[in-house]
Structure 1
């Protein structure tokens, strides 16, 4: 964003119009942290939450029309809608999310409304037998995962290396996450 050098570990901001993530020095990042400001850029926070009691059952997942067992959803403030992406061999693929199906998920778990538009996503992983996991993560973490999976993707379901990378990623997310308030495991 500016001429200030940045290190390997740095912050990101989102360009709301182009949906582009941009690397930023700490000063530039801090300029865009006010969530109520009507600015072109928004700082990506570093908040990680785990929704322990939230599961998206098979029926609800089918209604969301996401063809794989992993997706991230976020609120796009420019388009005023929730958008879902899932990984694949070409990178992030947008799903035509049926809004009534998503609204049903939010109604059953109103805590999901605390997602910050444009900069935080709900990362859902469906797993056979375990019910899966659900985390609130920074949007840049989702694109990091999708980019890594794209480089490793083999075959129809991603292959062994992609699944190992997914497992390692979710272990890191679980380690960084704190419990989301208000969600009680059934």
Structure 2
């Protein structure tokens, strides 16, 4: 995802350089919509009018999708050790998204080098986290499930929020275990996301 360079390099510094819409070149503020270019999995910064243009999934021949701004939480979420180990993820926090061009679910976990990506066995996904209430709400390519294993926690987030987390890890991580500063930054940021989130409505 190349369009979120300021998050991946600086961790979302509050005073980034002036940016421009990557579709029409209009100057844009620090807070602005993002689009995903589906085939290339590329994130684009957009002005408000261009963002509205791609609210319609069919706009632009379906090549772009606007990243929505919804945050959901499932307070009843739980994941067993066996379910997590079946996903073969070596860390205790990851985010999951549907990659529509490849027709699969991808796990990404933050690391000091950036987002490490792993393609999942669909059987392990479907019988575990993929069976959760939030997974049923997930919009392909533009939203992700941020999952922490201990204590169990699951948030449905815009994909750009997950890449902000990657930026925080790259900025603050020190040594093997990250250090106190890194984990405080991670906990504070996830706490902010949790406060914004609404409880998912369970379907009958």
TM-score by length of structure 1 reads 0.91
C-alpha contact 1:12 1:29 (8 A) present in aligned 2: yes
Q: What does residue 12 of structure 2 align with?
A: none
Q: Give runs of aligned pairs for residues 7-46 of structure 1, distance below 5 A.
A: 7-36=29-58, 38-46=61-69
Q: Give runs of aligned pairs for residues 26-175 of structure 1, distance below 5 A.
A: 26-36=48-58, 38-105=61-128, 108-127=131-150, 130=151, 132-175=152-195
Return the offset for 1:36. 5.0
The separation in 2 between residues aligned to 1:138 and 1:163, in whole angstroms, is: 21
C-alpha contact 1:76 1:83 (8 A) present in aligned 2: yes
C-alpha contact 2:133 2:200 (8 A) present in aligned 1: no
The separation in 2 between residues aligned to 1:19 and 1:107, in whole angstroms, is: 22
C-alpha contact 2:133 2:202 (8 A) present in aligned 1: no
The separation in 1 between residues aligned to 2:130 and 2:94, in whole angstroms, is: 19
Gaps of 5+ in 2: 1-22
Return the offset for 1:107. 6.1
- 3-state SS, counterpart of residue 62 of structure 2: coil
RMSD: 1.6
Return the offset for 1:106. 5.0
Deviations 1:128-185 (A, max 9, x none): xx3x2100000000011001111211122222121111101111111110000118xx
Return the offset for 1:55. 1.3
Q: What does residue 176 of structure 1 align with?
A: 196
C-alpha contact 1:121 1:137 (8 A) present in aligned 2: yes
Deviations 1:36-91 (A, max 9, x none): 55421110000000011111121111111111111000001111111110011101
TM-score by length of structure 2 reads 0.83
What number of residue pairs does the alignment pair up? 180
Q: What does residue 16 of structure 2 align with?
A: none
